[in-house]
Amino acid sequence: MRKEGVSRGYSQSSDTRKTKKVTRTLEANLNRASTHYSDLMTKNTRLKEELDTLYLERDRFQKLRNNLTKELQKIRKSIGEMTKLSTAAYDARLGLRCLCSVELINVKLSLFL
């Protein structure tokens, strides 16, 4: 009978040690997982803040781009108007030159006749 009692005591002691070891292992795994989760949540928060900053920068960039596009359209319109004026002035000068040439020819002809 004594052997059974000793045997049970040894078995219970062994079971207790195994249970404690499993408990420590599970607690260590839980601690590791909790730390990893906390790290991921911190990283997620940082990435959300960065994303918000990028959204703001994109909005500013789009507004700047729209303003520059409008300014470019105004400049192109101005260039087109200046080109038309330049062409008109050139045509007028060419017309006057031709008119002067015709008058000069008429004067020369009248001198000869």
pLDDT value for 33? 97
In a domain, 109, yes or no: no
In a domain, 105, yes or no: no
In a domain, 110, yes or no: no
In a domain, 96, yes or no: no
In a domain, 94, yes or no: no
Q: Is 113 helix (H, G, I), strand (E, B) or coil?
A: coil
Residue numbers of the domain that contains 27 = 1-83
Q: In the chain, how many domains are there?
A: 1
CA distances from 49 to 22, 23, 26, 59, 89 (A): 40, 39, 34, 16, 60
In a domain, 102, yes or no: no
pLDDT value for 2? 47
pLDDT value for 30? 97
pLDDT in 10s for each residue of the chain, 113 residues: 444 444 555 567 888 999 999 999 999 999 999 999 999 999 999 999 999 999 999 999 999 999 999 999 999 999 999 999 999 998 888 777 776 776 767 766 676 66
In a domain, 111, yes or no: no
pLDDT value for 1? 44
In a domain, 93, yes or no: no
pTM of the model: 0.54
